[in-house]
Amino acid sequence: MRDNPVIKKLARGEPVFTTWLDLNCPLSVEIMAQVGFDALTIDVQHGHWDYSMLLNAFQVMTHTATLPFARVPVNEFSSIGRILDLGAMGLVVPMVNTAEDAQRAVDATYFGPLGSRSLGALRMDIVEAHRNYVQEANSKIFLAVQIESVQAVNNVEEIAAVEDIHCLFVGPGDLSVSMGANAGSDEHEGAIQHVVEVANNHGKYLGIYAEIGQIPHRLAQGFQFIVSRAESDLLLTGATDFLRDLLACGAE
């Protein structure tokens, strides 16, 4: 099975950078996979992906150095298994609010004895990069669970104690809404810092969504798995900057 350098980089204490992909377009995935991100995280929760396009997206990434990750739409056994069967090597599972939710994600992600994932990954049987998949998948699939509600923060000690989760991933936007507190406020940052302390106590890696200007602060806090922007944002920003420069040429 293909190696997972993301897990190795995290173990060395190095940061890992990825971005959301939300446009349901394998061609944009192919372009982004050549840029040099550690992984690309296809956002099946909030993006516009269907499963046939998701398969195509994973296929175009197979022979690049960029790993195929996905944020699953829901913490549900068959949904997680299907996305793994298509080729995801890392998962971000949303709205994990309790230890039971966390264990449900583990059970769906890993084959026995770690979990109860169903055997039947046809693509993994025929793609050379995934040979020995069943024997190696449990050690090479990255699992992050999202801490993005007041309930999750209150239960984070129990969530972090669940074995075989690699990363606690803070969703700062949803957490802000759940708390009824402004993002970046003392209350909001205090909740995030609590997650940091618990993750450190339990030996879990830390992940978060952050804009560019926030990343140095998050790295200093100990966050290693960093998601920033989406390819739709990058397309809009690039087009906006280009048009600004184009209009400036006409004004000269």
pLDDT digits (tens), the chain, 252 positions: 999 999 999 999 999 999 999 999 999 999 999 999 999 999 999 999 999 999 999 999 998 999 999 999 999 999 999 999 999 999 999 999 999 999 999 999 999 999 999 988 678 878 877 788 999 999 999 999 999 999 999 999 999 999 999 999 999 999 999 999 999 999 999 999 999 999 999 999 999 999 999 999 999 999 999 999 999 999 999 999 999 999 999 876
Q: For this structure, is 46 an active site residue?
A: yes
Q: Determine contact, residues 117/107, Cβ cutoff 8 Å.
A: yes
Q: How many CB atoms lie within 10 A of CB 208?
A: 26
Strand 90-93 versus strand 67-71 pairing type? parallel
Nearest to 19 by CA among 6, 32, 8: 32
CA-angle at 208, arms to 84 and 148, nearest 5°: 85
- Residue closest to 18 by CA, chosen among 229, 232, 193: 229
State the virtual CA torsion across 59, 109, 202, 196 in degrees, nearest 10. Answer: 50
Residue 252 has what pLDDT? 64
C-alpha span between 222 and 244 (Å, rounded): 37
Crossing angle of the two packed helices 51-61 and 77-86, in degrees rounded to 10: 40
Cα-flanking dihedrals φ and ψ of residue 18, to 5°? -145, 175
Question: Residue 159: CB partners within 8 Å, gap ≥ 6?
Answer: 96, 98, 99, 101, 102, 145, 147, 152, 165, 168
- Could you tell me the domains of the chain? 5-251 (3.20.20.60)
**Residue 127 has what pLDDT?**
82
Query: Would you say 101 and 148 are in contact if contact means Cβ atoms under 8 Å apart?
Result: no
Candidates 113, 116, 66, 74; CA nearest to 92 is 74
Q: What are phi and psi of 136, to 5 degrees?
A: -115, -15
Task: Name the β-bridge partners of 145.
Answer: 93, 168
Alpha carbons 34 and 21: distance in angstroms, whole number = 14
For residue 208, list its beta bridge partners: 170, 226
